[in-house]
Every structure is written in C-alpha cells, then in structure tokens.
Amino acid sequence: MTLFFTRDHEWVRVDGEIATVGITDYAQGQLGDVVFVELPEAGRKVGAGGEAAVVESVKAASEVYAPVGGEVTASNPDLTADPAKVNADPEGAGWFFKLKLADKAEFAKLMTAGQYAEFVKGL
C-alpha cells in the first residue's frame, strides 16, 4: 500500500475508504522516547489539517494532524498501553487512528514518499 505524507510529518495509507494515520520515522526521531499518546474517539469528525491526536515524549508534546478529512473509525489501543510502539514501528504497528475518508481528492495535496524524503533532506 502506498504511503502519503504531510509537511507536519504525518503519514497516511489508504485501503478502500479507510485511511490509517500515524507519524513518520523522522517525527518520532525528533521527538525522542514517546511516553504518552492521546487518541481521538471513534465517531469524531476531523477536517484535513485538523488536530486529531497528541503525542508526548520526554522532550515535548506535539499535535498530530489529520492528513485528510473524515470520521474516526478506530484508534490504536496498543499505543495507550505501550506508547513506545510509536518509536519502534512508527509507520506500522505505531499507527494512531483510522478514518473513513470524506474526500479522496485531498490526497492530491499530500507528498509521495520520494517528495517527503526530499523535503526532510532540506530540514
């Protein structure tokens, strides 16, 4: 499955009408050890770019924004018990939440993996 990325270091992977969202490996590296996550509840509607979750590390707390708009269908229950999964597998088991997509056209505003890699090089 293809990943898309935001300038705020979130990734999104789409499977049909459902988008899975998390933070990038670059973001978790900048944060350091993740110690707490606050996840959205199912049924919550978020717009593209809207605040959806919070991730706290030993260094800082950061908002996690929705790369695309939709309705939250699930949050990752494993992160509540073990927030370090974000550091261990940020673009896999460390996912934050899933959305039922509102508008697939919003993906046109996101970066591909290659574009994101170039963007990170410039930081």
Structural domains of the chain ordered from first start: 3-107 (2.40.50.100)
What tokens appear for 54 in the block? 């919070």
pLDDT (0 to 100) of residue 2:
86
- So what's the pLDDT on residue 85? 97
Per-residue pLDDT reduced to its tens digit, 14-67: 999 999 999 999 999 999 999 999 999 999 999 999 999 999 999 999 999 999
**Residue 116: which pLDDT band, with cuts at 50, 70 and 90?**
very high
pTM: 0.96
Residue 116 class from Cβ within 10 Å (0-12 exposed, 13-18 middle, 19+ buried)? buried
What is the structure's pLDDT at 83?
A: 97
Residue 1 has pLDDT above 90, yes or no: no
pLDDT attached to residue 26:
97
Q: Which residues of 72-89 are buried (b: 16+ CB within 10 A; e: fewer)?
A: bbbbbeebeeebebbbee
What are the tens digits of pLDDT across the range 55-106?
A: 999 999 999 999 999 999 999 999 999 999 999 999 999 999 999 999 999 9
